[in-house]
Amino acid sequence: MKPIKFLPHIAVMTLGIYLNAVHITSVNAKANEETNTPAWFENKTKDIPAEKLSILDSSLPTSLLGTVDRFYEAMRGKTPKEIEAYLDGMIAVANANKFNPETDMASIPLNTESPFFNSWKVERPASLNPKREPGPIHLSRYVNNRHSGVQTFAGAPLAIYPEDLIAGNVDVAIVGAPLDMGSYYRGQRFGPQAMRTGYYSGGVDMNTMINPSKILSIVDYGDIAIDNMSTEISVRHVRERVKEIAETGAIPFIVGGDHSLEYPDIAGLADVHGKGSFGVVHFDSHYDAGKNYPHWLTHGQPVYRAVKEGHVKAENFIQVGLRGAWPGPEGFEWMRNNGMRYHTMAEVEKKGWETVMKTVISEAREGGKKLFISFDVDVLDPAFVPGTGTPVPGGLTMREAIPIVRALCTENEMVGFEIVELDPLLDSTYRSALNANFIMQACLTGIAMRHQGITEGDYLSELTTEHMQPMAGEKAKAQGLAESIDSQYATPDKR
């Protein structure tokens, strides 16, 4: 997520709104610059009221001119009266940015008298369905053709109720969450649909020769109902459904949908496993810990909300793949000050991917905590996933992403996994959904490996990595040696 997501009409915005956006993304910027007030400025402003001068303690001076030094330089040629007028302008902008109960609506009141108020999430009573024994349902009449019949995640059977998960002794329940009201770009709601109908439908992982579908009980748990008029209302229901899955002992795999989902997904898991009981590895090109925006929850703020409410401890939160123009210094300082670990693409450039990958895997294992993975597809370079609303060049390749996801899911007890921000409407090819599915497959493979007693994240199958045949030169050498031995013991010519 980038700040631009909250400025869909930036081209026509007023100066005041623009300054507000810059202000939000540069909180404490002035405090971070150790610039003393010049004596000449103090002399010029000695007759200006202190309450007006206090606006200089905000980030507005840097928002206007980039740095505090530039602000003072701009004021050098101005008269005291002109400086006071400039301060008045900044004060007017700051006041205009604030909520005014007389002119602003905090929210549009909902029609609680509507007989359809909860119609978007009302469950179909079981009495309206044909009676059946609880358990997963296969939706194809064919045994070996997963591309026929009704398409499901990983070609898995369908489960509808918690009773189905329990009866099927389900290990992994993949559920769609088609929410995209938490971002500027629309289309993420079609992510689950694209991943179901894509080329991928499960199967063996050639790196490990593990077939998750043969080892794990995997089901498609349908889609969670979403009120796509309200993120705030929808995430409560998402949290309920994630909790419902986790309570059966199955691992929820959530397919989004935008990254607002990270908050209810983590909260729902914390409702079952306990607050602060598991760690999070967050793959993303953006740190998504924004705050102070008019909406409490967007796809740029789930990290802040999850940490602030205590669902996950900051020191157990690891960021991977950050790059681009957001956040600035204040974002990294917030993470540092709260004990978070982060690994940017700048660090990858500096230390190399192998080093960074090993560090992330080691950090995730600390303390033997359970683990949740949040995978925003824009952590991948746009060459691999053009179908996402906020692509940033210079991201991970699939050859980098698959091994680390597989290793994390092998070496840790997983409580959940999510893959979000896939927007198939922005990709005229099938590669975005294809690659998203193979990221999910990597985690399924890791969990299956762990079920088989393999806990080394760097495990690779000998069968597919060693053909056990001699090199061409060695073969020729062996052939020549054999012929030499034969000639020594051959019957002499009789002349």
DSSP string, 182-251: TSSS--GGGHHHHHHHSS-----BTTTTB-HHHHS-EEEEEE----TT-HHHHHHHHHHHHHHHHHTTPE
Q: Is 458's pLDDT higher than 60?
A: yes
pTM of the model: 0.83
Q: Is pLDDT above 60 for 492?
A: no
Rounded to whole angstroms, how far apart are CA atoms 229 and 155?
A: 31
pLDDT of residue 487: 66
Question: Can you give the pLDDT at residue 27?
Answer: 39
Asked whether the beta carbons of 374 and 283 are under 8 A apart, the reply is yes
Mean pLDDT for 125-129 is 87
Does 5 have pLDDT greater than 50?
no
- Pick from 196, 101, 178, 200: which is nearest to 139 by CA? 196
From 50-64, 166-180, 295-309, the region with the lowest mean pLDDT: 50-64
The residues that bridge with 341 in the sheet, in sequence order, are 318
Structure tokens at 131: 């009676």
- Give residue-wise pLDDT tens across range 291-336: 988 888 999 999 999 999 999 999 999 999 999 999 999 999 999 9
Reference 284, options 336, 323, 333; nearest CA is 323
The enclosing H or E element of 69 equals helix 68-75
Q: What is the pLDDT of residue 387?
A: 97
Task: State residue 493's pLDDT score.
Answer: 53
Q: What number is the average pLDDT over the span 21-45?
A: 61
Identity (one letter) of the amino acid at 434?
L
Return the closest-CA partner of residue 428 out of 194, 186, 178, 150.
194
Question: Is the predicted pLDDT of residue 154 greater than 50, yes or no?
Answer: yes
Band (pLDDT 50/70/90 cuts) for residue 107 is confident
Which percentage of the chain shows pLDDT scores above 90? Answer: 74
Average model confidence (pLDDT) for the chain?
89
Q: What is the pLDDT of residue 495?
A: 41
Tokens of 264: 């209810």
> What domains can you pick out in the chain, each with its CATH number?
3-97 (no CATH), 136-451 (3.40.800.10)
- Band of pLDDT at residue 24, cut at 50, 70 and 90: very low
Of residues 147 and 491, more confidently modeled: 147
Q: What is the pLDDT of residues 400-446, one digit of tens each?
A: 999 999 999 999 999 999 999 999 999 999 999 999 999 999 999 99
pLDDT at position 180, please?
A: 94
**pLDDT top residue among 492 and 33:** 492
* pLDDT above 50 (res 207): yes
Largest CA distance in the chain: 128
> ω before 257 within 30° of 0 (cis)?
yes
* Amino acid at the residue 376: D
Residue with tokens 């005291």: 80
pLDDT of res. 233: 92
The per-residue pLDDT for 105 is 86
Q: Buried b vs exposed e over 380-410: b needs ≥16 C-beta within 10 Å?
A: bbbebbbbbbbbbeebbebebbbbbbbbbbb
Alpha carbon distance 265, 409 (integer Å): 17
